[in-house]
Amino acid sequence: MGIAIGQVERFVQDWLGRAVETAGMSENAFTPALGRFAPTRFYDHVVALTRERLWRTLAAMYVAPQPDDVIVDVGCGTGSLALLLGRVEPQARVVGLDPDPDVLAVARRKADAAGVAVQWRVGMGDALAELLGAGSVNTVVSSLVLHQCPVMVKRTMLASMSAVLRPGGKLVIADYGQQRTRLMRLAFRIVQLADGEEDTQPNADGALQGLMSDAGFRGVREVEVVPTVTGSISVYVARRE
């Protein structure tokens, strides 16, 4: 990325020091969009630093929405990926699902401003079949969600994604994956401080592909790896058996 390891080390250590001084634990039943340190209103600005335009575009490319597809964005946050998919294929039915009403309020404002039709739903990613109907969705997409979850929740959410997909339906996940280099492991410490090391370390160790296979997905592949200032973000694709 054209950044010396020493520069990243100084940046990370400085950021971690400031973050620890201002840290406060959340009482929410879910991890807020920016973890424990930053309010929701800063989410889009922070995520933009992760080469967001590149990895979201890659994720949308692998979704490849078609007219009349039903696509659900699990943990849609402020709606950036759902809106992109709605722009790519206006005839698709795109559903943005998130448990946080605050981020959904931001998503609705962005959709209204862009003139893109997305159905926004408040809900958890472990109850997709109950919310949307079993076997009712062509594609499930999720970005920057699973790394925040305990392993058991990762498993439950992936099983829920499988249950809501039609046979042969597609799963596309863009999230922090295996951190293969010293530079990426160091950069990923920022994410681990915000979201907790216990929940994030399995992603950094490369566990997501195995968890996807355990949930019944086939043809699981890591198709893209994007280095960023907060660690590498991978794009994974798979099919429901």
Q: Which residues sit opposite 140 in a β-bridge?
A: 72, 171
Give the confidence band of 19 by pLDDT, cuts at 50, 70, 90.
Answer: very low
Looking at the structure of the chain, the number of domains it has is 1
**Domain around 129:** 5-240
- Average pLDDT of 83-97? 98
Give the confidence band of 21 by pLDDT, cuts at 50, 70, 90.
Answer: very low
Residue-wise pLDDT tens digits, 177-231: 999 999 999 999 999 998 999 999 999 999 999 999 999 999 999 999 999 999 9
Could you tell me the CATH number of the domain that includes residue 137? 3.40.50.150
Instruction: Determine contact, residues 240/167, Cβ cutoff 8 Å.
Output: yes
Instruction: Determine contact, residues 207/228, Cβ cutoff 8 Å.
Output: no
Residue-wise pLDDT tens digits, 118-153: 999 999 999 999 999 999 999 999 999 999 999 999
Strands 233-240 and 165-176: antiparallel
